[in-house]
Structure 1
């Protein structure tokens, strides 16, 4: 066995050990749940086919499940009070749609929010490019910018992330 093969095996072992730690944590968490609650363990998949386990229960908040997709997306933006990308919004919608996967929700978010932006359906909704990647855009409100057009600190994307699938 060459040195490269041995190194690859060590990396794979470390990766699998991290996964086992996550599974062990989920087993511990799942076994401590009140049986009266309707909790389920779901496996979600990203676009590359990698699965992640997430524990979702009856989410009790003011989420407008009976309203339009646009209202639901606005609720996510308003609740998290910061710029969000399509993938992150999809992940935040996942607890409300446990029967769907992140990619499906991401496509829905993309179509709905792009239409709202293009047709000016939401006052102050803006799209900012934050990287050179094709998916390097985030959504938020104009009121979250300072006088120079920069994102105010408390509304910056990717801070205080509370993603159910990470």
Structure 2
């Protein structure tokens, strides 16, 4: 699907404020409410808008620790990769999981209340996943940048 300037503007505005009313969104993108709503529904139907969420401060809800975990599997066969991915999806502590190139197979971001909670998760959960050859944990000291909004406007400007 090709996104035009109005679609990109709708997406940028929804990323900035997912609770914006359709009337306010329409005003910001230069449409009336009905065609704006049609575009939003199309973006949702086509899977470009995957859903809506609230951004919760992990520190204020008692999960201040972010751990980046490099996982290397014993084998990189498709079945083993799929099994690992299906398993880690079950654990709510795993906030992100990426299949990687380089020295490890996966990079995970895990949140925990403290070092002891991470240790419990590591010992009782992560190390029990079959097929893991190596686990290497790195603790984030400070979050410098955290974004959820994609740079849609910047991308459009570069593609012109």
TM-score range relative to shorter protein:
under 0.3
More helix by share: 1
Of structures 1 and 2, the one scoring higher in RCO (CA 8 A, sep 6+) is 2
- TM-score (structure 2 length as normaliser): 0.27
Larger Rg: 2
